[in-house]
Structure 1
Amino acid sequence: MITLHGFAASNYYNLVKHVLLYKELPFQENLLYGGSEELLAISPAGKVPVITTNEGLNLSESSVICDYLEETYPDIALYPENSSERAVVRQIMKVAELYFELPSRRLIPYAFSGTEIPESIKDEVRQALDVGVIAISRLCQFSPWVAGDKFTMADIYVYYVNIVASFGASQLDWDVPAEIHGMKTWNDSMSQLAITQNIEADRQANMPEFMQKVTAQIQADNAK
């Protein structure tokens, strides 16, 4: 059986979990947090998530895991058959990761610690998100799904990327997804899916323990 390693407060963990559930693949979960020796033993960069395949192979990096699951278990497909359409889906995923998720992730330490973000960092994040807004607006259709009339891996990927992009509302006073026509309606539709709601319940259940670990790390860093 596939094992999914990580923790439910992680958006990338939940992204992979959504793929596993959508494909109706049996799997078990193993709670691991970043920085643990157990995680470093199976993840080269010590990042969450990791899966251990049925053959005992450990794989990290969400996009790599998603491709592996699609290629190994193609019966319930999340990529189009046409190679050009598949490339468009992957392009959307990469743009969302590079210009939505990664810049927004810089806001997380300040949101969790309650400290003020330097204006220089705010400016850098805004500039990167500006690129993301333009690119996503050009690439995505939201008719009704991200890449058109069929649900694809891009829907799952962009939805969980948006969870981190939502920090822009609290930290930059900027509702970034609202800048993109059709994204809010699509995001609401995604949030109503049964799989999404089950994952969200698990995320909420994990948050108190996760925040305890975050707080302890912040205190340890401040004590240095």
Structure 2
Amino acid sequence: MITLHGFAASNYYNLVKHVLLHKEIPFQENLVYPSSDELLAVSPVGKVPAITMPDGFDLSESSVICDFIEESYPYTPLYPSDAKERATIRQIMKIAELYFELPSRRLIPFTFSGTPVPKPIAIEVRQVLERGIIALNSLSQFSPWIAGEQFTMADIYVYYVNTIVSSFAVKQLEWDIMAQISGMTEWNKTMRDSDIAKQVDVGRLTNMPEFMQYVQAQIKAVHTK
């Protein structure tokens, strides 16, 4: 059985978990936090998530894990058969990561510390997000899924990217970012209301108090050095 290493407050952990549940692949969860010795044993840079296959093969980096799962368990495919369509799916995923998720992550420390975001950082983050909005408006179809009629890896990937955007960028910048992309708000609600997303969210809510204790301990450790 596959072991999924990480913690359920992580959007990338939940992304991989959603893929496993969608494909109905048996797996077990191993609660572990970043940079611990246990995680470093399966993830070279101590990042969440990581997986261990039944034969002992370890793998990290969420996008790599998702592609590996797709290739190893090709039933219930999450990529189209056409090469150009597959490339478009990956393009959407990469843009969402670089121009939505990563800039939004810059705001996380200010949220956790309760300090205001410096204006220059807020401006820089907004500029990057605006590039993502333009690109996703160009590439997304939402008819009904993000790339067209087929539910794909991009739907799962962008949905969990959006959890970071809505949790940090939307609140810190006081800006309804998803509303700037035609069809995304309705699509995001459809994703959120799915049985798998609800199941994943139960795990997230259960883990959140312990994760926040971990975060506060990390902040305290930095301030006491």
TM-score range for the pair, normalised by the shorter chain length: over 0.9
Q: What whole-Å deviation, never above 9, does each CA across 1:130-183 have from its counterpart, x for those lacking one?
A: 111111111110111000011000000000000001111211111111111100
> Which residue is 1:140 aligned to?
140
Residue 55 of structure 1, CA deviation:
2.1
> Which residue is 1:222 aligned to?
223
Task: Give secondary structure in 2 for the equivalent of 1:144.
Answer: coil
> Which residue is 1:184 aligned to?
185
Structure 2 unaligned regions, length at least 5? none
Residue 222 of structure 1, CA deviation:
1.8
Residue 214 of structure 2 corresponds to residue 193 of structure 1: no
Residue 54 of structure 1, CA deviation:
2.2
TM-score computed with the length of structure 1 as normaliser: 0.98
Deviates more, 1:18-27 or 1:107-116: 107-116
Residue 122 of structure 2 corresponds to residue 127 of structure 1: no
Identity %: 64
Q: Is the CA contact (8 Å cut-off) linking 2:15 and 2:157 kept in structure 1?
A: yes
> Which residue is 1:94 aligned to?
94
Work out the CA distance in 2 between the residues paired with 1:177 and 1:48.
Answer: 26
- Residue type at the aligned position of 1:110: F
Work out the CA distance in 1 between the residues paired with 2:100 and 2:90.
Answer: 15
> Which residue is 1:36 aligned to?
36
Runs of 4+ in structure 1 off by over 6 angstroms are: none
Work out the CA distance in 2 between the residues paired with 1:135 and 1:73.
Answer: 31
TM-score computed with the length of structure 2 as normaliser: 0.98
> Which residue is 1:113 aligned to?
113
Work out the CA distance in 2 between the residues paired with 1:77 and 1:191.
Answer: 21
Residue 129 of structure 1, CA deviation:
0.5
Work out the CA distance in 2 between the residues paired with 1:160 and 1:213.
Answer: 21
Residue 5 of structure 2 corresponds to residue 5 of structure 1: yes
Q: What whole-Å deviation, never above 9, does each CA across 1:48-72 have from its counterpart, x for those lacking one?
A: 0000112211111111001000001
Task: Give secondary structure in 2 for the equivalent of 1:115.
Answer: coil
Structure 1 unaligned regions, length at least 5? none
- Residue type at the aligned position of 1:212: Q
RMSD: 0.7
